[in-house]
């Protein structure tokens, strides 16, 4: 299977026992309980991968039903309503339940190995993100069991999603599941940002990181910054549907474009969240099988960062048909053309890597080269949509369907398959069959083009998206039939992969540590890796460090591994409990208030037990990474950056809707500025007490720590009391959530801030109880410091809200 390099004997021996948890770390974990409670990044990666494949099959079945319905004119495979549900669930499933978790499988399994780390920064948070995803995915698909699958399209345009036009639970399932899945993605993103920035092996500077790690890092920042706007959009939709607010109510002064902006500010970065990991995989696979370094690796890295940056400036090219006006159209048209430049640069770098290389045409190489070709086609059709007149012609036709399938299947899915065939030996210790793999590739490649290339033509001759039937005289029948045959060919290709995987797991040829003569650190350890990843943390001397170790100037016998002390976190069942509690909250929102209360109780108990599980474990006391800063502090800064976008979106909505209420009362009639000034002063003074509390904990003064922690929480409670008094007064004056647009925006904005204050008060009181029990020593000061960062942020946000809502007329 190819030359394994001089390190194979040493690397494959890395599975011994290392001290730390008292016992043999290499010993296998057995039984289903070990999978449910695992916090090992490799096992969580496998859980993500298996889940993604299952939902790929679910989304694929939905796609086959769509194609059967459209195989000929006048088909009656499903009803019109059933067709609406199928295309909504197919899009939602493929984006959120198949491609994103498939990428997460690689993030979890491969990234810590690539950066020479023994685990991720927050192993239990990692497990929590998986279980929240798992229960959110089950909740979404449970909609089929109660006969109410989402049916308003996967990007849920207002006002199709309003109670008036979607009165059942269908849209409720969709919006609640997306909120749950968003929580999972945010937790994972914070975890991986801290892991990549803070846990790299000695010598691994940012520019020495593998390209896949770089693309992972860019994706995590995209998630942290792009998910808050769509979260706010979904919260507005939830309030409109559950509580009668008016965010998307035109009659009350609302604007349907608000949803489109909030969705696509997330939706276009989401395209890069899906495709950049595939770009990273290709940037690892091509150099390995071309047996030469990636051409212009720094340029590939910079172009990936630029794609992430520009991705936030092109969202409204999805809205050229919405009537934004010539200035906005021109701006987003230019931005869309610009983003093609860094994307095109990658294509040329990959081609230059292949040029003159000693190519080994493995299955992984086939899929990687397939991505380069297919994504180029998808990119070229995307460039067409940068022109508003062309886009107006192609919008809502099958031309657009062809375009994004070339990007998301020809790009993301082919990249994922390249990664599976490349890293499967590392993950399982066994090879996939190359002949079956190449058969599967050619089936997928030919069938994919048969399924989606004709849709360009169908769109060009006028076939709209989302029609469930068509007349015989339209001229669309032949190419729709070809497209359907291609879709079933894709299904056969995926089936061949499933058979290959099954055969490999049962009786595949054993794989050595370095089967492909790899370039990066994951090939330095055994296949599969031991539970602690590396016996010794490797030192990095440059890009492609393992390749240098084998063939460069440092070639020779490496030093004997030092069995240093390894701490691995214990398994935990609290992530599953919290995930279950969140799922119960969502179920309760559709059934009964008692179920909401039960879900809240389970989630809150789980969070407290989760937070205090290792409060007194010495190895958890210090988490200083390569940045020289505690991981928890970095994580809080990243989270607060995301919160800036959340509150920024809420405030921007208030400003956009200010003065547009159709009926009174109006803000100047009822806002009590003197009382709110007093409550603002109270909240700002609480920040001073927070500083005193931290100083007391740092110097070990238990009495002062208890006093200032309780004082900060008390000031927070007083602020909440002022807010409750103000809300009660407003309701008495006739201003409610449902009264007008000002009421909707005011109560949701200030109420969400009040919710953040409430979380902070509970957090502070928990620390106060720990101090009362003598369990808050100077070594725990970082926990108070992180709580303080959150509290100061909440205070700063209130200054902005108070200024904009109360002081500016």
Q: Tell which residue, 182, 232, 264, has the closest CA to residue 654.
A: 232
Residue 149 is given by DSSP the state -
- How far, CA to CA in Å, does 474 sit from each of 340, 466, 471? 35, 16, 6
What's the chain's Rg over C-alpha atoms? 27
- How far, CA to CA in Å, does 678 sit from each of 372, 682, 689, 758? 61, 6, 17, 19
CB 571 within 8 A of CB 119: no
Contacts of 495 (CB under 8 A, 6+ apart): none
Structure tokens at 239: 């309030």
Half-sphere exposure of residue 261: CA atoms within 13 angstroms, side-chain side: 14
Sign of CA dihedral 314, 320, 325, 327: positive
CB 305 within 8 A of CB 339: no
Q: Tell which residue, 56, 55, 58, 64, has the closest CA to residue 483.
A: 64
Structure tokens at 133: 């995803």
Residue 292 is given by DSSP the state S
Give the burial class of 28: count Cβ atoms within 10 A of its Cβ; 0-12 exposed, 13-18 middle, 19 or more buried: exposed
Residue 256 is given by DSSP the state T
Half-sphere exposure of residue 336: CA atoms within 13 angstroms, side-chain side: 25
Contacts of 226 (CB under 8 A, 6+ apart): 265, 266, 269, 270, 273, 312
Residues known to be catalytic? 90, 119, 154, 184-185, 268, 270, 272, 283, 317-318, 343, 346, 465
Question: At what angle are helices 414-428 and 434-460 packed, to 10 degrees?
Answer: 160
Structure tokens at 22: 């008292």
């Amino acid at each position: 299977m190819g030359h394994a390099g001089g390190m194979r004997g040493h690397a494959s021996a890395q599975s011994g026992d290392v001290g730390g948890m008292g016992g043999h770390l290499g010993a296998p974990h057995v039984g289903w309980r070990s999978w449910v409670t695992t916090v090992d990044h490799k096992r969580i990666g496998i859980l993500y991968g298996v889940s993604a494949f299952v939902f790929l099959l679910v989304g694929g079945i939905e796609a086959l039903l769509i194609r059967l319905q459209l195989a000929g004119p006048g088909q009656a495979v499903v009803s019109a309503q059933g067709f609406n549900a199928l295309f909504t669930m197919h899009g939602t499933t493929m984006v959120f339940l198949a491609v994103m978790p498939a990428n997460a499988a690689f993030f979890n399994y491969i990234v810590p190995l690539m950066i020479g780390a023994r685990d991720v920064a927050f192993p239990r948070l990692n497990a929590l993100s998986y279980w929240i995803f798992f229960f959110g995915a089950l909740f979404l698909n449970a909609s089929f069991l109660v006969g109410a699958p989402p049916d308003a399209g996967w990007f849920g345009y207002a006002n199709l999603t309003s109670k008036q036009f979607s009165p059942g639970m269908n849209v409720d399932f969709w919006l609640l599941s997306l909120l749950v899945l968003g929580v999972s993605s945010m937790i994972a993103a914070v975890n991986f940002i801290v892991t990549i920035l803070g846990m790299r092996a000695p010598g691994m500077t940012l520019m020495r990181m593998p390209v896949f790690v770089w693309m992972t890092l860019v994706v995590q920042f995209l998630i942290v910054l792009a998910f808050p706007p769509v979260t706010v959009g979904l919260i507005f939709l939830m309030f409109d549907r559950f509580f009668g607010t008016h965010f998307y109510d035109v009659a009350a002064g609302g604007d349907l474009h608000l949803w489109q902006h909030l969705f696509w500010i997330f939706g276009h970065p989401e395209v890069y969240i899906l495709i950049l990991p595939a770009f990273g995989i290709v940037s690892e696979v091509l150099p390995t099988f071309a047996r030469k370094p990636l051409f212009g690796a720094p340029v590939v890295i910079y172009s990936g960062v630029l794609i992430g940056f520009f991705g936030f400036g092109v969202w409204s090219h999805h809205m050229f048909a919405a009537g934004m006006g010539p200035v906005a159209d021109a701006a987003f048209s230019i931005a869309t053309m610009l983003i093609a430049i860094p994307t095109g640069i990658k294509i040329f770098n990959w081609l230059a890597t292949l040029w003159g290389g000693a190519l080994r045409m493995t299955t992984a190489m086939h899929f990687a080269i397939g991505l380069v070709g297919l994504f180029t086609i998808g990119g070229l059709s995307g460039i067409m949509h940068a022109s508003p007149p062309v886009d107006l012609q192609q919008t809502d036709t099958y031309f657009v369907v062809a375009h994004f399938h070339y990007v998301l299947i020809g790009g993301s899915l082919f990249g994922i398959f390249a990664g599976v065939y490349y890293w499967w030996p590392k993950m399982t210790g066994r090879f996939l069959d190359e002949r079956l793999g190449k058969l599967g590739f050619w089936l997928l490649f030919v069938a994919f083009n048969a399924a989606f290339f004709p849709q360009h033509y169908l769109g060009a001759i006028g076939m709209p998206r989302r029609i469930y039937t068509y007349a015989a005289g339209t001229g669309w029948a032949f190419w729709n039939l070809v497209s359907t045959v291609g879709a079933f060919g894709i299904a056969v290709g995926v089936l061949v992969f499933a058979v290959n995987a099954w055969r490999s797991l049962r009786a595949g040829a054993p794989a050595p540590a370095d089967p492909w003569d790899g370039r990066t650190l994951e090939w330095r350890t055994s296949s599969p890796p031991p539970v602690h990843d590396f016996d010794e943390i490797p030192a990095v001397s440059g890009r492609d460090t393992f390749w240098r170790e084998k063939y460069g100037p440092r070639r020779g016998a490496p030093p004997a591994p030092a069995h240093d002390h390894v701490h691995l976190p214990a398994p935990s069942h609290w992530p599953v409990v919290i995930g279950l509690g969140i799922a119960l909250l969502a179920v309760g929102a559709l059934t009964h208030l008692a179920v909401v209360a039960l879900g809240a109780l389970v989630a809150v108990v789980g969070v407290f037990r989760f937070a205090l599980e290792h409060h007194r474990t010495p190895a958890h006391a210090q988490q200083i990474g390569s940045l020289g800063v505690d991981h928890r502090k970095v994580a809080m800064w990243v989270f607060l950056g995301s919160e800036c976008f959340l509150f920024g979106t809420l405030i921007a909505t208030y400003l956009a809707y200010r003065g547009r209420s159709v009926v009174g009362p109006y803000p100047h009639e009822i806002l009590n500025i003197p009382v709110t000034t007093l409550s603002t002063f109270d909240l700002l003074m609480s920040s001073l007490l927070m500083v005193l509390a931290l100083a007391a904990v740092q110097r070990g003064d238990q009495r002062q720590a208890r006093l200032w922690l309780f004082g900060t929480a008390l000031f927070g409670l007083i602020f909440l009391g002022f807010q409750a008094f103000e809300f009660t007064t407003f309701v008495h004056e006739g201003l409610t959530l449902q009264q007008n647009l000002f009421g909707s925006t005011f109560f949701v904005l200030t109420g969400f801030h009040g919710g953040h204050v409430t979380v902070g008060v509970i957090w502070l009181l928990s620390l106060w109880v720990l101090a009362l029990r003598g369990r808050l020593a100077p070594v725990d000061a970082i926990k108070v410091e992180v709580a303080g960062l959150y509290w100061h942020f909440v205070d700063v946000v209130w200054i902005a809200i108070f200024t904009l809502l109360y002081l500016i007329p």
